């Protein structure tokens, strides 16, 4: 089963105008094409944008939020609003039970925050980083995890379990100290 990926990117660097220091589309578009996956990309700047996109059916089952995260405040949007589980977001019934990845640092460090965001989006699985992770390692971790996920789904599996995630973390454990020295735990967590 070919995966369907939707990336929501937000501005990271205010000094660069309407650009980001990490344009996820530049990585995900060719990676998805090479993998035979469908890909869509949107720039989001505000909670109004989030409500717009999530208020109508999103055909992709995997959503990646790419941007800056904070362990207390959540996912930072361009206009200084945050996704932290407390806002009312209009989630169309077809957008529930999606797999959501926050390709942003530190959100996973706060379990209460991550669980609130998971509930806010009615997500099947939510993945978030508990450390500061360089962009290239975000892309590596996520592309490896999604490739392993696709393999499981192609073999008839309907869901991605905690056991599957443990297998992924074991397979990618070697990268944790390449990203940052003396890290004891894998940077990504599953909620």
85 in Cβ contact with 116 (< 8 Å): yes
Encode pLDDT of 105-133 as tens digits: 899 999 999 999 999 999 999 999 998 88
Phi, psi of 159 (to 5 degrees): -140, 165
Q: What is the pLDDT of residue 179?
A: 67
Q: What is the mean pLDDT of residues 6-27?
A: 71
Distances 11 to 42, 48, 65, 133, 172 between C-alpha atoms, Å: 12, 15, 11, 17, 28
pLDDT exceeds 80 at position 6: yes
End-to-end CA distance of the chain: 23
Any alpha helices (H) in 1-46, and if so which ranges?
Answer: 24-35
For the chain, give the number of residues. 191
Interhelix angle 135-154/162-172, rounded to 10 degrees, is: 130
C-alpha angle 160/161/162, rounded to 5°? 135
Q: What is the pLDDT of residue 139?
A: 93
76 in Cβ contact with 68 (< 8 Å): yes
18: pLDDT confidence band, cut at 50, 70 and 90? very low
Express as a percent the part of the chain with pLDDT over 70: 92
4-18, 32-46, 72-86, 138-152: range with lowest mean pLDDT: 4-18
- As a whole number of angstroms, the distance between CA 39 and CA 49 comes to 19
12: pLDDT confidence band, cut at 50, 70 and 90? low
Q: What is the mean pLDDT of residues 54-58?
A: 97
Q: What is the pLDDT of residue 137?
A: 87
pLDDT exceeds 60 at position 21: no
Instruction: For the chain, give the mean pLDDT.
Output: 90
* Burial class (CB within 10 angstroms; exposed 0-12, middle 13-18, buried 19+) of 18: exposed
Query: Tell me, what CATH number does 178's domain have?
Result: 3.40.50.1460
pLDDT exceeds 60 at position 15: no
Is the pTM here over 0.75, yes or no? yes
Q: What is the pLDDT of residue 183?
A: 74
* Choice between 175 and 8, residue whose per-residue pLDDT is larger: 8
**Whose CA is closest to 3, among 160, 158, 150, 159?**
150
Domain hosting 67: range is: 4-190
* Long-range contact pairs involving 45-52 (C-beta distance under 8 Å, separation at least 24): 45/10, 45/11, 45/77, 45/78, 45/79, 46/77, 46/78, 46/79, 46/81, 47/77, 47/81, 47/83, 47/87, 47/89, 49/77, 50/8, 50/77, 50/83, 50/89, 51/89, 51/90
Number of independent structural domains in the chain: 1
134: pLDDT confidence band, cut at 50, 70 and 90? confident
């Amino acid at each position: 089963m070919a995966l369907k990926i939707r990336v929501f990117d937000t501005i990271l660097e205010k000094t660069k105008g309407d650009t980001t220091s990490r344009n996820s589309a530049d990585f995900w578009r060719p990676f998805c094409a090479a993998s035979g996956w469908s890909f869509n990309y949107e720039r989001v700047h505000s909670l109004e944008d989030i409500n717009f996109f999530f208020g109508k059916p999103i055909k992709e089952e995997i959503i990646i939020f790419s941007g800056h995260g904070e362990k207390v405040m959540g996912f930072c949007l361009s206009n200084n609003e945050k996704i932290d589980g407390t806002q009312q977001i209009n989630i169309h019934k077809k957008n529930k039970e999606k797999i959501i990845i926050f390709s942003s640092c530190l959100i996973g460090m706060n379990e209460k925050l991550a669980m609130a965001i998971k509930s806010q989006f009615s997500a099947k699985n939510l993945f978030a980083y508990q450390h500061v992770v360089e962009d290239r390692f975000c892309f590596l971790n996520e592309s490896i995890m999604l490739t392993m996920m696709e393999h499981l789904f192609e073999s008839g599996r309907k869901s991605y379990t905690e056991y599957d995630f443990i297998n992924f973390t074991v397979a990618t454990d070697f990268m944790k100290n390449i990203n940052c020295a003396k890290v004891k735990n894998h940077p990504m967590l599953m909620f």
